[in-house]
Structure 1
Amino acid sequence: MIPISDDNPTLRTPVMTYLLLGTLGLVWVFFQGAGFNVGALASSICDLGLVPGELTGQAPLGQAVPLGDGYACVVDADAINRVTPLTSMFLHGSWGHLLGNVLFFWVFGNNIEDSMGRFRFLVFYLLCGLVAAAAHVAVDPTSPVPTVGASGAIAGVLGAYLVLYPRVRVNMLFILFIFIRVIPIPAWGVLLWWFVLQLITGLPQLMTLRPEVSGGVAVWAHIGGFVAGMLLIKLFANPRYTSQRTLWRHRMHPNHP
């Protein structure tokens, strides 16, 4: 089940959404070697990825985390560790990781930017990402494993979308063997389903005897970012913009929610 579009046009060009998407792509290609330069990829993840145990000082210095192909991340006390909650938001671990985040951001980000304005949207996006990072650290403060990805910040966008546009139809691509179909589903159904899946995956992480159940995915960052987006959207949404969008949408589609 993959979101490919929504029935929720924008009134203003989502410049900041485009800039953030472009930044993610440029960082992946030119800084991380597009996944083809293993050394550059490993170095970027180790040096600029978020390592909870480095931030809290609870991971032993010198502890190594294997990355494969002879590479490993070693816990250190470098000053740059303090900014990794921010830098890690712009890094990814694979093409699939990047494209999955880009797809969700492409579908949902433009409407949230359109509801608050460009600068507010940038601040909102970064703040949700930082809350997501804090949630990840809080759940496993001793972890020596580096985490990267924009999904925590993008989860905040999803939470905001749920609050502002729960009844808007999202076009979902279903692929099951030879069955391929695009089915419109209300946003509340799509986003609550996504959030419940994160909870189902993340709750066992709170059991200290089963830390491996998440499969390496920072689901509590997703949960933290999503909740942050739901709570912060009312502070960041511009009432004038949201009113304009509501009036225009009802004028263009009087029979749609």
Structure 2
Amino acid sequence: MRRTPYVTYALIAANVVVFLFTPGIAGSVAGQSDLAQLCHLQAFLDHYAAVPRELIHDQLPRLVPTGAVGVGPHGPGCVVATPEYQKSPPASVFTAMFLHGSWLHLLGNMLFLLIFGNNIEDRLGHVRFTLFYLVCGYAAAYGFALANSDSGDPLIGASGAIAGVLGAYLVLYPRVRVWVLVPFLIFLPLRLPAWIVLGFWFVLQAAYSSGQGVSSAGSVAYMAHVVGFLVGMVIAWPLRAGTPRPPEPQGLLFGRRARPGW
């Protein structure tokens, strides 16, 4: 790696800061969410998360949670009212890329970004990597929205953009070996070629997006992962011929070899 991955570090820092300052998230992280925190969080997500129905049909809700708690005929609940803000569905895709619902969601995404983002940023340069990340994130969100055009559930997370990074890594560095933990009675650390690790990851996402191997898609937007990954591959494809193998420094850091002193 020749360039310091400033954009990768900045993205990780921004995601962590946004997560820490997301209203209502502290209680949910500690497992002690009360109704007020949940209402506050729901209002925040309705404002800043991407919603498939809004992206495809530009249908903004007439009533949204205000963040306040009220008592209705069926007991306490979140108060809804006419929104006091103007929401831009395309802009919500950008803000949604920095929102996460749990520490596990956040740390998983940031770990993948740290492991694979540095070499892609090195290959593309800081500005082009930033644009690449955003394009993959937008493509993933709209791809998921097209497949779920009537859904009103909020879509959050950097997974789609990071899936694009993984797709580019598979194209540019397929033979680079990465450390992974393979469950076989116990978790065994194995150093495998990237094409095996990322190829297997993509196959799983594609299977899950079609409903195979899971009872339901649940809260994970597998289709966004698939679309982001494919878009990343397509963008990186023309760069294959001129891409040198990344250096192999000494030491280990997060599944790959790291420079001495890290």
Contact 1:132 1:153 in 2 (8 A): yes
1:177-197 residue CA offsets vs partner (Å, 9 max, x unmatched): 6x2331111110111111111
Q: In percent, how many aligned pairs have the same letter?
A: 41
Partner residue, 1:54: 54
Q: CA RMSD in A?
A: 3.2
Give the 5 Å matches for 1:74-223: 78-175=86-183, 179-204=186-211, 213-223=216-226
In 1, Cα distance between the equivalents of 2:17 and 2:171? Answer: 31
Match of 1:208? none
SS in 1 for 2:218: coil
Change (3 A) 1:79 1:63: closer
Contact 1:172-1:182 at 8 Å conserved across structures? yes
Unaligned runs of 5+ in 1: 1-9, 206-211, 253-257
**Residue 58 of structure 1 contacts residue 142 of structure 1 at CA under 8 Å; is this kept in 2?**
no
- In 1, the alpha carbon distance for the partners of 2:46 and 2:239 equals 33
Q: Does 1:230 align with 2:233?
A: yes
Normalised by the length of structure 2, the TM-score is: 0.76
Change over 3 Å in CA distance of 1:60–1:105 after alignment to 2: closer
Residues 149-195 of structure 1, C-alpha deviation per residue, up to 9 Å, x if partnerless?
00000000000000001111110123556x23311111101111111
- CA distance in 2 between counterparts of 1:164 and 1:80 reads 35
- Any idea what SS the aligned residue of 1:152 has? helix
- Distance in 2 (CA, whole Å) between partners of 1:86 and 1:238 is 32
Aligned to 1:183, the other structure's residue is in SS state: strand
d(CA) in 2 for partners of 1:196, 1:75 = 43
Q: Paired residue for 1:29, among 12, 20, 30?
A: 20
After superposing the two structures, state which structure 1 stretch, 230-239 or 215-224, moved more: 230-239
Instruction: Give the residue type in structure 1 aligned to 2:15.
Output: L
Supply the distance in 2 between the matched residues of 1:115 and 1:142 (Cα, whole angstroms).
Answer: 39
Q: Which runs of 4+ in 1 moved over 6 A?
A: 72-77
In 2: Cα distance, 1:187 partner to 1:83 partner:
34
CA distance in 2, matches of 1:215, 1:71: 23
Contact 1:54 1:75 in 2 (8 A): no
TM-score by length of 1: 0.77
Alignment partners' CA distance in 2, 1:74 and 1:98: 31
What is the aligned length?
228
Give the structure with the larger helix fraction.
1
Matched, 1:12 2:3: yes
SS of the residue corresponding to residue 99 of structure 1 reads helix
2:189 is paired with a residue whose SS is strand
**What is the DSSP-based 3-state SS (H/G/I as helix, E as strand, rest coil) of the residue aligned with 1:97?**
helix
Aligned equivalents of 1:40, 1:235: Cα separation in 2: 46
Partner of 1:5: none
Q: Is the 8 A contact 1:31 1:40 kept in 2?
A: no
Q: What secondary structure, in the 3-state scheme, does the structure 2 residue paired with 1:171 have?
A: strand
What is the rounded CA distance, in whole Å, between the counterparts of 1:216 and 1:75 in structure 2? 27
1:236 CA drift (Å): 6.9
